[in-house]
Structures are given as structure tokens and as C-alpha cells.
Structure 1
Amino acid sequence: MRRFLFVFSVLFFSVFSAQTKPNLVPYPQSVEFSKGEFILSNTTAVKGNEKSFEYQFFLKSLNKNYQLDLSKNERTHGTDVIFVSVDKDKKEDYEINVAENFMSVIGKDDAGLFHGIQTMLQLIQNSKDGKIPAVKIKDYPKFAWRGMHLDVCRHFFNVDEVKQYIDYLAMYKLNTFHWHLTDDQGWRIEIKKYPKLTEIGSKRKESMVGAYVDNTFDGKPYGPYFYTQEQIRDVVKYAQQRHITVVPEIEMPGHALAALSAYPELACTKGPFESATKWGVFDDVFCPKEETFTFLENVLDEVMKLFPSQYIHIGGDECPKTRWKECAHCQELIKKNNLKDEHGLQSYFIHRIEKYVNSKGRKIIGWDEILEGGLAPNAAVMSWTGINGGIEAAKSGHFAVMTPGAYCYFDHYQGDPQSEPNAFGGFTPLDKVYSYNPVPSELNPEQAKYILGVQANLWTEYITDFKQVQYMIFPRLMALSEVGWGTADPENYKEFESRVIGQFKILDGMKVNYAKSIYNISGKVVPANEGIAYELTVSQDPAGIRYTTDGTEPSLDSQVYQNPVRVKKSMTVKSAYFEDGKLKSAVSSQEFTVSKTTGKKITLEQQPSENYSFGGAFTLVDGIIGNTRQLGKTWLGFQGKDVVATIDLGQKTSFSEVYFNTLENKGSWIHLAKSAQVFVSDDGRNFKMIKEIGTQEIQDSKGKITLNVGNQTSQYIKLIIENAGIIPAGNPGADSKAWLFVDEIGVN
């Protein structure tokens, strides 16, 4: 039995013809144009199963967006109509056929129909004068899990805003909404058996503001903010209608301060506790005692009644073992169950929770730290620290969702950090998201079947309102959608970029506050003869770029950009894009500090973390001093690794000073270096140490290290910067590997 639906629109945006690629995101698997076109008119009828959500969704979308009420138009013949039908085949596939007399979309199931509707709306939105080129589209997704995450704990977003977020996912054919509902900074879900979770845990006395290193607070009480169970049912139904599964996350055993503030007896110590006012990771976590498991099981009972999703996310990430090491009960539990250590205790905790969730017919998914001590039998892994968690899970026969921070963390900067709002750190521009392949090359075809798909995450430490949510997800959500759909083509990124710009017209109509970083000038340092050059690019005609090197603001009368700007001395390059005589971009400013190492060949014995590796080793000699308030694209980050850098000066060179920068941000597990040694060599093989400094000297310098090495002449310089190692007790992230952030290595 097929259901038929007829739809029409007369609001038109950009032109496309049979000779150009239509502005569709995500791009379909197969698009074939033919001669002819379908001409829409305001007499086009709307027919179908009036009780179906898809039918009503079409009518309401047309009425809301285009002020068209076509519900009363009727047709008894097969022309001037758009046919929409469903084949019950339990797939997300669909087909669209545009001919001179009709348009049709056939969904293999209701989800396929809905996806086809989204594509049809984009076809209509991109038409001109009601003319849609004749085309056949056959389409289906590559990955079963195409997700977006939203953290509502650090900052809260109301039901209407959450529904808008779901609408954005639906527009671009994502099918999973990961709702992060509990954390140290707030408990956001009503649990009727434990009312103090929302009475106490849904608020905090103040919030951290500005960059983390500023360590400043607003002094304003935050909350109580939470969702009632009735509101959650409403959101879940709203998402289901749009063929989106809502996966709730209840954090355990770490990130539990908000819960412990309400029920301190669930901790290893007596407390008292309060919801965290700072961002970061904290030592007080759930204690694995029977009353804790009873509490969590009761919480999960209520959660599973609200969320029909197959998977329940139980967190499992960033759980310090400090309290467990000091807890007599925990140590006795380790002995009693023959566990190796506290990591084994984490595995024991996750196994207990999984067994309970499985008994209710559900499955758990957790961040890749749930691999610690051994993975629970039926657990799925969400791989965020990199891709290794997903690889390990897939090779052992466990499903995995790939969400590595380097590609999928939308709280990272997406443009030049100097011209972007304050963000968490990292640098994840649109093209990097688009370049991601969720299936690691390390997996064979059989193992690759365990990769469920891809997800991007939006953590909200620095996102205080919904306008900023919009800014951080758009346009990167479009790149994610095409990666998840399986049609991303990184080699033709510019073509994708042009489609993104076309989509901006739709977002403008919706009054979405999307990031315009794509219009801003992007700068990249490249090696040049005896130094470096600064390469400028823009998504539009590069002839519109103007720049200065004397510190003045660029204008139409400034130098026209033609070739990379040579940087032979310390200077500031400012650039901007002009179109039709008007400034169209933000002004980009980059300061350069040139030394004898600038632009020289550099090698690293150990590579930085993928999240903080932009530019690779060359970042350390690119002439740019990192901004201590922005961990964007000017720092390299190493977790648990020393920096061993060797620089080839090209010839014997005289110098008397070596400098480098490190950071301290203990709340984010970033510690100053433990020591540093400088070595020199004439052949690049045999080195001798000429300078060494220890922890106290580095602490006194506050990370800005300048080493006087006397009068030296050599071709090679090796710098060893020692990582702080394991974070000691009493610090956030105790017992974990410390981060070491390093920037420019200079020689004078």
C-alpha cells in the first residue's frame, strides 16, 4: 500500500540549471539530469494521507516559510503534482524523480520519505521562477549513526531551543541527538525518586567566565535549570517524528559533583560538595558501593522509561582515581574481586551498570575510557580522544561511533582565533571536518562493519546562549552531514564550500546566527628561501584581498595580495577582503617574531596529540608566538610525552640565547615542563648538552623560558622539554597523564 502526498513551493532563491551541480547538502549518492523542467505554480495541489506526520510537516513548512496554504488545492489527474510515497522496507533510502509533468519522491520507509522531503525542499528553495530541472536522484546514507551532541550542563538551553537544535539535525539528515544531561556543573533531568538532584544539583553559585587562564567568575547564581519528565517526553516525541533518536547521557562514575552535592553519601568522602563553578575535571566521583549502584539503577529506571533509545550513554570518561586510591571500601573491593588496580575498578563499575541496563533490554555506550581495565561484554564505544578507542573496539567485535576531537569537536575554534569568540581551544575549521573518514584505515572490511558512524560534540563551557550554539555548529554541521551520509569528497572541497555558501541563504531566512569564518581571510605560514612567507586565502576572489605590513588597518588603497607575503623581520601583517568597494570580512591580524630558527627545518621524535597538532612541527618555528588565552592553531599539545625537537639551521650559526614557551592550566591538566635541556651539534648525530634548567626555574619564569647559553656556534640545536608526567594527587586529573603545551622555539 502506497501513500501519496503532493507538495509545492513558490519562494525561490539561487539559480541552478541542468548543467550545474544543485545546491544540496548532504549531496545525494546519485544525481542524473535530463532534458526538461517541472514548472511550479500556485495552483499545484497537495494531496496524500492527511494523518501522516510527513504530510503535515510539508504543509506547515510551506506555510511557515513561504506563506503558502496549498491544502485546499485539488488534482484528479497526474499533472502539476508532486507524488510522495512510502514502500515499507525499513531503510532510509529514497528516490526523487523530476519530470515535465510531475515530481515524485519514494521513501523506502518513513525515515527515507522524510529525508527525501528535505532534499525536495532544497530543490524547491534553489529553483528560479518555479523551474526545477528534470532530475533523477537515488539516495541513501552510508552510516547508521549520524549524530550531534549537546551539553546542557555547563549552560542550559530551554525546550524550544532544544527543538530548534533537533530541527537543524533533521534538515541535514542526521538521525541521532546525544543529550548530555548530567555533569559536575549541573544535573538537568528530573528524577522523581531523588528530588534533591534538581532541587540542589540543578544550580551553582556562580560560573567561570572568560578564558580559563583568567580564573574569573561572574558571581551570579546559575539555575535551578532542568527539564521535567513531561518536557523530556515532549522533546523525545518531537525528535521521533523527525526520525531522530534521542540518546540520553547520565555521567558515571566521574563528572558527578552535581549529584554528590545532592546526595553526598554516594561519595568516598563525607563532603560537603557543591556543583562545580569551574570547568574541568574533579577528584570527587561516585564511590562503587552498593547504595551507589542502587541509586544509579533507580535513576536509570526512570531514564529508560523516558527514552526508548536502544543505547543509554553512561559517560565513563575522565574519572580520576584519587579518591578510590584513598578509600578503604574501594581498596577492599579491588582485593575481593581480584582486580588489578583502580582501572580494573572502573571496569568493574561499568560491567555492573551494563549488566543492569542489559537486563532491561537496552545497551550501553560510553566514551572510550570505558575501555580501561577491559571493555564490558556488550558495550559500544564513542571514540573521542582519537581514533584508537574505536579501532580497539572494532577489532574486538564491539560497535563504535567515531567522534575524535581533532575533527568532531565543535567547541573548537573554526576560524582565526584572534577574530573568533572565545572557545575551548583546538582548531577545527570547516575543511578539516569535511576531510574526516570515520572508517580507520587500520580496520579490514569485516572489522569496519563495527563502525556505526560519526558524531560531532558541542560542549558548552564557553557557549552561554543559543545564538552562540548556532554560531558554533554552522556551517560545520553541513560538513558533518555529508561525512555521515557518505558523499564527502575532500579533494573537491571548494565545490562543497560553494554549496555551503548557497545554503547560507536558507539559514538567513531562518535567522540563524551562523559563523561567517568562511568569508574571512585564512593565513598560513609556509617555508620560503631563507625564512618564511605568509599565504593568504579566501573563499571568494583572492583579488579582493588587501594587506599591510606596517601595523595600519587595510583599506582599498592597501597592497593587493598576489603572492605569499615574505616575512624577513618581525612585523605585523593585517589583511581584509573587499568586494564592490566595501569591506566584507573581519580584519585579520598576525604578529611575527623572527629569530634565527624561523622557517628552518625541524623534526620531532614524538608527535603531538591530534587535537593540538595544527601545522605539525613547523608550528614551533613559524615565527608566531602562541596566545596564552587561546589554545587554537598556534600551540602543539603533548599528553604524557616529552618534546624532543631538532632544528637544522642550515649552516654553522652563532647564537647566545634559546627561548620557548609553555603553558600552565592545571584545571585542564596542562602543566609546566619539568625540565629542559639544550644540545648542539655540527653533524646532526653527535650532540653535547650546553644548558639545563629544572622545575623551579621553569616555575619562576611562568612558562616563558629564555636560556642564556653563552657564545655558541653550531648548525644543529636539539631541545628536550620534559613533560610533568603523571599528575600528582590534589590536582585536577590526578593519576592521569599531564599535558605539555609548547610554542615557538627561537634562537638569537
Structure 2
Amino acid sequence: MSLFKLCVANLVTLFWVVVPAVMGANIIPQPSYVQEKQGTFDLAHNNNILYAGKHPEVNQIIDNFMEQVLGDYGLRLQANKSKKAGILLQDKKSLNEEAYELSVVANKVVIKASAPAGFFYALRTVNQLILADKNHTLLPCILVKDAPRFSYRGFLIDAGRYYLPLKDVKKAIDLAANYKLNRFHWHLTDDQGWRLEIKKYPRLTEKGSVRSNSAIGTWDQYYPRHYDGKEHSGYYTQDEIRDIVRYAADRQITIVPEIEMPGHALAALSVYPEYACSFYSSLDLMAGAGISDQVYCPKPQTFRFIKDILTEIASLFPGEYIHIGGDECPKTSWKQCEDCQALIRKENLKDEFELHAYFIQQVEKIAEGLGRKLIGWDEVLEGGLPLKATVMSWRGEAGGIKAAQLGNNVIMTPNTYCYLDYYQENPEFAPLAIGGFISLEQVYDYEPIPEALTAEEAKHIIGIQGNIWGEYVATIEKFEYMAFPRLLAIAEVAWSQPGNKNRELFISHLKKEFSFFQKRNVNTCREYFRPRIQGGWDSEKGMYAVTLETICPDADIRYTLDGSEPTVESDIYEGPVYLTENTCVKAVVTDKDNQILEAPTVKNFLVNKATGCTYTLSTDAWSLDWYPVKPTLFTDGVQGFTPSNYEWAAIASGVEIVIDLKKNTTVSGVRFGTMVAPINSTLPAKSMICYLSKDGKEFRQIGESTFSYPVYKGEKEIYHNYVKTEKKDGRYLKLVINGQTELPEDYPYPNALPSIALDEIEVF
């Protein structure tokens, strides 16, 4: 992207010329302009705050700030009407609403802003400067001029899957506000529950908020699915909604309520089934992740029902947006519904996709009549009919690019960068997540304005959002683990100009934030303080290399290779560690005082004659999840594990795998891992035939085995099979792996093509 294009595209709210921030300013998100000076301001002796401007709301902001610093640091500040106060807040009309200026000199702190938001953000910056001082009393002398890059800086809480108590929602709002996020996207309804009171339709919460149980494990871990047998319920009364709206507004956060339609609507249709395509006397809520085929039927009475609901929603949430979802809407029931087919003919629509767009158009008219703007996920564009809606681009960036080119405003939230319910550390040991993998650095490095857009089109990118979906997030502790610290990276991407971003600086600033999280009893992900262990073949040295790294600044890594627990006396990592045999690597991070910061990270590596070798497949392997299949997956030295599919791939029965052992090698046996997972239509391998060749053309059979397995017990399970071969020499090892040709009738998809799950191939 050209510098000119970046500058034009980023003039969302910024009006200052961007001057790179000084490297030492310990502030997240990084301000637009920072100038550090000599000296400090002592809050313990200059603790009076004065605001005499025209915005009475600022007094509440000051009260909240004083309460926070008292609770966090024991620092007592007081509001004062004397102009001799050490901290002065002054109106400056020329600044935009979210901008501020902060000047700290030895005897005075002056904050200037034009609106409550600017004063609020300035005090958030002051709070971070207090945190950075080890005694929490001194502010560095500094000049900050700051304004956000994007006007929409959001985070999502999914209460539809699991109700989150009001106090926990408030805690999440407090944490987000500390990093200048300003939109709380509240996902309140889904196939698993309805979470807000609608006076006109009481059954939505009387019954629609209650499900009899919840699914256990990943979507493919058990078959049949396992359930906890525990009722899950909860909803927010309208009085509670008003309370949380006020609470958020006091922290400059506007709530964007999401009421899902036409799909993800089973919670409503389970209690008002007359608004589905076919009348069912009973529809049960979903207990786990998934998508129901039951969706709203686009008939007049349905739109009256929706209008009634949105009318109450608009009375509760004063923000400009109502989010109506619009994503993942199966068309099955519409294709079978006489009313839907008649409507398609009447409105001269092409198909069910245009019917979907027609549905969104009707809801958009309702929202406009209520004085609200519509937001929808990028599927709202699929029908091709014109909409004014703001689009949330979640399936990558393609939807956002298309929307911006059409002239729609866009909020970027691609699942490849902004889905904070994905794993952030090694899935083998991390708390259960829905899948995927997005590291802290990946989030931070995201650039929300795609290069495919012109400068004019880029103006339609109004912000970015981090999403913490709730399929596997049942508590505030799990929410915090998934969100922090990655949500801070979202905040900096949303606020800071690209020229001011610095990943190394951001990561160093994070260290102080963990002390803040500790004060607030926030259950953060601690991967920051743990080593990352990776293994791979070093082709230059012809050996298997293990690398250790940590993003924690001013830290060492100590490790062991014999399975023992690392201590402060263990070897310090200084470069790649080379392995010649199966090895259990354990490592810890130690700080500058040689204190161990977290429990050890553990990783087992398999090193054998196949490790690091290339191979070819007669038919392509495919992913069992959304992880890409690595070209070295079967010989990378890492075994698969469950319940994650991270180190697994599926192959067809009868596939031939030819491994190039690099040189003539003595082969006496082969071992591999296989797995049973009915929901993935995978069965363990039935047999393997081994062939060996010196030239890759003429192969001779050297071994064959068939395998038997215990009776399937309902859970995904791994088996390790060994084939003893004749002891022969050769360079090219061909393995023919056979599986079942048909799936059992009691499998969920008995007519599907069976596959074999495979992880690591070992050669002896």
C-alpha cells in the first residue's frame, strides 16, 4: 500500500500530522504523538483534580477514575474547585470528540479535550502511566497528542451460547475501556439461547433462555454427542439492560445488540414455532456448537414479530446500530416451503439467496423506521440486492472488500486474525477451544485496510472488532483467558496509526499490563511467560533441530532433554538443540532475577529414519478441521493428539505414500498413528503393505500387517500400529494403507466416503 493511500485511508478521525511516538512511552494503545521530557509529577503530593468546563459528564468520569486508582494502587485523589489543583482538565473545542492532549510537567498535569470521550481516554492514558511507575505515584513528564485511527473499535461477547452474569459483563466492559475500545457487540440470541427480556413475547425468556443440557468436548470428540445433563439458563431483564447500557456509556462504550435472523434463530422458534416455515409443536434448543436448519420464514407475520422485538430493542439500546446477524442461514426449509417459493415467484427473485437478501432488506426498513442503522455479517451481501447495512467481514476479507467497493461501511473482523476464541497457544495443553490458531503477534500484525481497495474505497473501513465466541466459553474466567492479552492487540490495531505501531515495543509494554490484570483478578493467558517449543529438520546439518523462544522481554529459557523438570540451574538456551532420538523437551522462562515465571512447557519429538524426509501421496490428504495440511505433516517429528485435529490429516483408503529416505537405509519396521472419529467419517487403518526400492521404480514387498481394534466406546481414540518388515536396504519406502470401504450404519453420515486419519510415520 502506498504512503499516500495509507494517509488518505486513515483519516478517519485523526487530524494531527503523525509524529512517531517515542519508544519509551509505556502506553497501550500507542498514542499518535509522544514527547518525553525530564522529570516527574508526584501524584501523592499533587492529588487535586479540577474540571470547570461545559460537560457535566466529565465529573462522573473523574469520579470513576479516582475510584479506580484508589482501588488499584491505593492512591487517593480528590476533586477540587481550586484553580491551584495539580491536575487540570480543560475544554478545547478544536479537538475532535475522541481526541485529547496530555501535558505533564513537574508541577502540573493539563488535559485538554472537546468532549467527555477525549477526557476519558486521557485519564486512561494517565492510569497506564501510573501503572508503569513501580510505586504507582509518579507520572513521567510527557506531552501526548492522541486520537484514534478508527471510529469503531469493538469486542464481542457471546451470551447466546452461555449466559454471562451482569457483574461479569461489567468487568469485561471495564477491561475493554481501559484500552480505549468503544463498541461492545453483545450477541444476545442464537440456536442455544435467548438472553434478553422482550415484554411482548415473554416465552422468549421464560423458555427460550433455558436448555436442558450442554454438549461436552469438541464438535467431533464424541459420537453420539456427550452432554453434561445440567440445565443452563439466564437472561437479562430490561432494567438490567438499561443498567449495563448506562454503565458502558460512562466508560465511553456503546453497546451494539445482536438479534440473530433469519438463521441462528432456534431459541426464538423453539417457543414461537409459528414463525418458522413449518409449524412444529416442539423445537428444542441446541445443546452445542452447530447450525439449525430451522430459520425464520419470510412471511408477513414474521416481520411483524421481528418489528415488535426490534422496537423494544431500540428503546433499550440508544446506539445507532442494531446487529441482525444474517450469517450461516441454511436454505433447506425455504426450498421446501410453499410460502417461500410463492414469495420468490411474486417478488421475481432468482433463488433462495436472493430471498435471503429480500429478508434482510425488509428488516433494514424496520430498523430505519426505528431510527437505527443495520449491521450484518458478510453473508448479507450474498443475494446481490442493494442494502445500506454496515457489513462485518468475518469470512476473511473478501466480504469487506466487496462491501467497501459497493459503498457500504465495513467493520473488519476476519476469522484469520480477529477470532479470539481460537487457540493462542499449543492446543495439546491449552484449554479447549473451537479450533484454529491465532497468536498474539498475528493479531497485532493485522492491517484492516486491504491493499485491494482504492483510497476512496478504504474510507468505508470504519473499524475492527475482536470476537470471543461462546461455544466453549462458559465462564468469565474462560472469556478472560481467550481475550487477554490478545484484545490489547486489537485495541492497538484499532487506535494507533500504522506508522506508530511497533510489535516489539507493544510486547514489552504488555509486561506491566499483567500486573494490572493481577490486581483485577483477570485470568489471562500466560503464554507470554512460557517458552514456545518448535521442532523441524535442519537440511544443512542433516539433523532434527529444536528451537525455543519466548516473547517475554529480559528473560532466559532453561531446558532439559531427559524428561526431568527444569530448574534455575538447568541449561540456558542459546541456539538450536539437535536431537538424534526420541526426546522429551521441557523448558521454562526465567526473569532477570533468575525466577521461574510459569510451569514448564513440554513437547515430545519423534526422531527416526523418516524424520524430515519428503514424501509423495497418490491422492491428496485433507484436513480434519480448518488447519491447513502441512506438506511435512507425516514426517515432521510430532505426533497427533486429541481432542484437537491439529497434527492430523485424512487420507483415502488405498493411498500410496512414497517416502524418500535420502539414501540407502536399512528398514526393519514402520509405525504410524491412526484414529477413529465417527463425526469426521474416519476409521482406523485396516492394513498396511510396505515396499522398498533403491531407485524409486522397482519396489519389493518387505512387510504386511492387518490391524484389529477394540469396540468403539463413543470417543475419538488414537491407535498406534506397528508393521515388522524384513530387514532390507533401500532409499524409497512405499506404504499402501488400506481402510474400510463403507462406514457403519450407525455412523452419523453412513453414505459418506470413509477416510483414514493419519499423523506421524516412524521408520526403524
* CA distance in 1 between partners of 2:537 and 2:441 (Å): 22
Aligned position for 1:470:
480
- Gap regions ≥5 residues in structure 2: 1-20, 702-708, 742-746
CA separation of 1:583 and 1:124: change in aligned 2, threshold 3 A: closer
Deviations 1:68-92 (A, max 9, x none): 5543655344x73433434275432
1:162 aligns with 2:169: yes
1:96 aligns with 2:109: no
The one-letter code matched in structure 1 to 2:602 is S
* CA distance in 2 between partners of 1:273 and 1:170 (Å): 39
The one-letter code matched in structure 1 to 2:549 is T
Structural mapping, 1:175-324, within 5 Å: 175-212=182-219, 213-214=221-222, 215-223=225-233, 225-271=234-280, 272-324=282-334
1:589 aligns with 2:602: yes
Deviations 1:629-688 (A, max 9, x none): 125x545799xxxx999976556778796967678474xxx5549999999999999999
2:117 maps to which of 111, 118, 137: 111
* CA distance in 1 between partners of 2:480 and 2:165 (Å): 14
CA separation of 1:316 and 1:19: change in aligned 2, threshold 3 A: closer
- Gap regions ≥5 residues in structure 1: 1-17, 691-696, 725-729
Further displaced range: 141-150 or 305-314? 305-314
8 Å CA contact 2:158–2:187 kept in 1: the answer is: yes
Aligned position for 2:636:
622
Aligned position for 1:40:
43
* CA distance in 1 between partners of 2:86 and 2:735 (Å): 74
3-state SS of the aligned residue for 1:92? coil
CA separation of 1:746 and 1:475: change in aligned 2, threshold 3 A: same
3-state SS of the aligned residue for 1:106? strand
* CA distance in 1 between partners of 2:450 and 2:650 (Å): 23
CA separation of 1:128 and 1:514: change in aligned 2, threshold 3 A: closer
8 Å CA contact 2:154–2:466 kept in 1: the answer is: yes
* CA distance in 2 between partners of 1:217 and 1:570 (Å): 38
8 Å CA contact 1:387–1:404 kept in 2: the answer is: yes
* CA distance in 1 between partners of 2:411 and 2:390 (Å): 8
2:493 maps to which of 483, 488, 507: 483
8 Å CA contact 2:92–2:112 kept in 1: the answer is: yes
The one-letter code matched in structure 1 to 2:561 is T
* CA distance in 1 between partners of 2:697 and 2:101 (Å): 67
* CA distance in 1 between partners of 2:383 and 2:694 (Å): 46
1:516 aligns with 2:526: yes
Instruction: Give 1:151 deviation, angstroms.
Output: 0.4
Aligned position for 2:13:
none
CA separation of 1:278 and 1:611: change in aligned 2, threshold 3 A: closer
Instruction: Give 1:222 deviation, angstroms.
Output: 1.4
Aligned position for 1:62:
66
8 Å CA contact 2:102–2:144 kept in 1: the answer is: yes
* CA distance in 1 between partners of 2:331 and 2:738 (Å): 27
3-state SS of the aligned residue for 1:24? coil
CA separation of 1:241 and 1:20: change in aligned 2, threshold 3 A: same
Instruction: Give 1:179 deviation, angstroms.
Output: 0.3
Further displaced range: 206-215 or 519-528? 206-215
1:148 aligns with 2:155: yes
Aligned position for 1:746:
761
CA separation of 1:192 and 1:740: change in aligned 2, threshold 3 A: farther
Deviations 1:472-494 (A, max 9, x none): 21111111111111346798423
Aligned position for 1:374:
384
Aligned position for 2:28:
25
3-state SS of the aligned residue for 1:386? coil
Identity %: 37
CA separation of 1:74 and 1:490: change in aligned 2, threshold 3 A: closer
Instruction: Give 1:561 deviation, angstroms.
Output: 2.6
Structural mapping, 1:643-662, within 5 Å: 650=662
8 Å CA contact 1:92–1:140 kept in 2: the answer is: yes
8 Å CA contact 1:551–1:572 kept in 2: the answer is: yes
3-state SS of the aligned residue for 2:128? helix
Aligned position for 1:567:
579
* CA distance in 2 between partners of 1:718 and 1:394 (Å): 50
How many pairs were matched up?
708
Instruction: Give 1:429 deviation, angstroms.
Output: 2.1
3-state SS of the aligned residue for 2:51? coil
* CA distance in 2 between partners of 1:718 and 1:443 (Å): 48
CA separation of 1:341 and 1:599: change in aligned 2, threshold 3 A: farther
Instruction: Give 1:326 deviation, angstroms.
Output: 2.9
1:410 maps to which of 405, 417, 420: 420
Further displaced range: 48-57 or 528-537? 48-57
The one-letter code matched in structure 1 to 2:25 is P
Aligned position for 2:447:
437
* CA distance in 1 between partners of 2:759 and 2:194 (Å): 41
3-state SS of the aligned residue for 1:408? coil
CA separation of 1:71 and 1:583: change in aligned 2, threshold 3 A: closer
8 Å CA contact 1:652–1:682 kept in 2: the answer is: no
3-state SS of the aligned residue for 2:428? helix
Instruction: Give 1:182 deviation, angstroms.
Output: 0.2
Instruction: Give 1:717 deviation, angstroms.
Output: 8.1
CA separation of 1:104 and 1:342: change in aligned 2, threshold 3 A: same
Aligned position for 1:331:
341
2:563 maps to which of 551, 563, 567: 551
3-state SS of the aligned residue for 2:164? coil
Aligned position for 2:9:
none
* CA distance in 2 between partners of 1:573 and 1:459 (Å): 33
Further displaced range: 433-442 or 284-293? 284-293
3-state SS of the aligned residue for 2:28? coil
8 Å CA contact 1:427–1:614 kept in 2: the answer is: no
3-state SS of the aligned residue for 1:178? strand
* CA distance in 2 between partners of 1:532 and 1:239 (Å): 53
Instruction: Give 1:44 deviation, angstroms.
Output: 3.6
CA separation of 1:574 and 1:127: change in aligned 2, threshold 3 A: closer
Instruction: Give 1:141 deviation, angstroms.
Output: 0.9
* CA distance in 2 between partners of 1:623 and 1:567 (Å): 10
8 Å CA contact 1:550–1:571 kept in 2: the answer is: yes
* CA distance in 2 between partners of 1:248 and 1:646 (Å): 55
Instruction: Give 1:150 deviation, angstroms.
Output: 0.2
1:127 aligns with 2:138: no
8 Å CA contact 1:201–1:261 kept in 2: the answer is: yes
CA separation of 1:314 and 1:80: change in aligned 2, threshold 3 A: closer
Instruction: Give 1:595 deviation, angstroms.
Output: 5.3
CA separation of 1:621 and 1:90: change in aligned 2, threshold 3 A: same
The one-letter code matched in structure 1 to 2:194 is W
Deviations 1:268-327 (A, max 9, x none): 233321111122222222222222222112211211222222221111122222222333
3-state SS of the aligned residue for 2:546? strand
Relative to the length of structure 1, the TM-score reads 0.83
Instruction: Give 1:195 deviation, angstroms.
Output: 0.9
3-state SS of the aligned residue for 1:112? helix
8 Å CA contact 1:680–1:714 kept in 2: the answer is: no
Deviations 1:517-570 (A, max 9, x none): 100111122331335322111234787433333333333454443322323333
Further displaced range: 321-330 or 675-684? 675-684
3-state SS of the aligned residue for 1:226? coil
Deviations 1:449-493 (A, max 9, x none): 121111011112222221222222111111111111134679842
